[in-house]
Amino acid sequence: MKHIPVLIASLVGFLMVFAYFVPPLLSWRQTAEEWFTIVATIAMLLGGANLCVHHLQKISDHEAGWGFSAVTLAAFVITVGVGLFKLGVVPESAKHLDHAWSGQFQQEGGGFWWIYQYLFSPVVSTMFALLAFYVASAAFRAFRAKNLEAMLLLVTALIVLIGQTKDREITSLFLPTPADGSLPWMPIADLTEFIRKTFVTAGQRAIMIGVALGVVATSLRILLGQDRSYLGGDE
């Protein structure tokens, strides 16, 4: 039975690829995208049900951390309910005043908007603020100048860090005296921008090329039926 899902995945995958080069296949590609939306919706429903079952089981068994499961489950149910029933949403036009659900569920001032604006966004900001301390601690341990490579990394990190601060006009590097006799200096902000545009951009492009090659290799394995991890097993 596992050969049928593999065959479907291969056919649809090759169809999506060839549709970019063969215009008559464009309609088939659009149909496949519509089916993908349907399957993804079903998968989201199954994922939500699995989330509820998992956390209800932890609450029922009073496992370690079951209180967090209760908070997660309550937040999930409340958010889904507010979004589905469009609590606090008003009609967007006068002719739809008798239809309570005619407005957008993300409408400003609505319940879903309030949850995102005043609950979700502050929690995300808090999480990233806490991550900054962990990053600083990890950087302190990693940037010990034990060799030349670590020293270069440490100096570069300090230049970029200082260049992002408010005092961006600190003299960072003395150069030969200009012909007009003015004091030779280079702002750290300019040096930081040079590092970001030159070295950081080159490294990011190299990483993206490597990621693209990895995506191509993984995609080919899936299309050819060599990688079947999406079936839920090792086969």
Lowest mean pLDDT among 47-56, 130-139, 168-177, 217-226: 168-177
Residue indicated by tokens 């545009």: 197
pLDDT grade, residue 27 (50/70/90)? Answer: very high
Domain layout of the chain by residue ranges:
1-85, 86-136, 143-235
Q: What's the confidence (pLDDT) of residue 69? A: 94
**122: exposed, middle or buried (C-beta count within 10 Å: 0-12, 13-18, 19+)?**
exposed
Q: Return all residues near 52 (Cβ < 8 A) that are at least 6 apart.
A: 73, 76, 77
> By CB neighbour count within 10 A (0-12 exposed, 13-18 middle, 19+ buried), where does 215 fall?
exposed
The CA distance from 196 to 191, in Å, is 9
Q: How far is CA 211 from CA 146, 151, 214, 223, 225, in A?
A: 31, 28, 5, 18, 21
Query: Higher model confidence: residue 174 or residue 35?
Result: 35
Q: How far is CA 149 from the centre of its chain?
A: 30
pLDDT tens across 51-108, in order? Answer: 999 999 999 999 998 999 999 999 999 999 988 888 877 776 655 556 656 677 777 8
pLDDT of 172: 44
Distance CA(159)–CA(150), nearest Å, equals 14
Angle at 180 between CA 175 and CA 181, to 5 degrees: 60
33 Cα distance to chain centroid? 22
How much of the chain is helix, strand and coil, in % rounded to 5?
Answer: 70, 0, 30
CB 90 within 8 A of CB 103: yes
Q: Which residues contact 114 (CB under 8 A, 6 or more apart)?
A: 88
| CA-based radius of gyration for the chain | 27
Is residue 46 over pLDDT 80?
A: yes
CA dihedral (18, 24, 26, 28) in degrees, to 10, reads -90
* Structural contact between residues 91 and 97, judged by C-beta atoms closer than 8 angstroms: yes
Q: What is the mean pLDDT of residues 108-128?
A: 90
Q: 75 is written with which tokens?
A: 């937040």
Q: Rounded to the nearest 10 degrees, what angle do helices 201-223 and 3-18 cross at?
A: 130
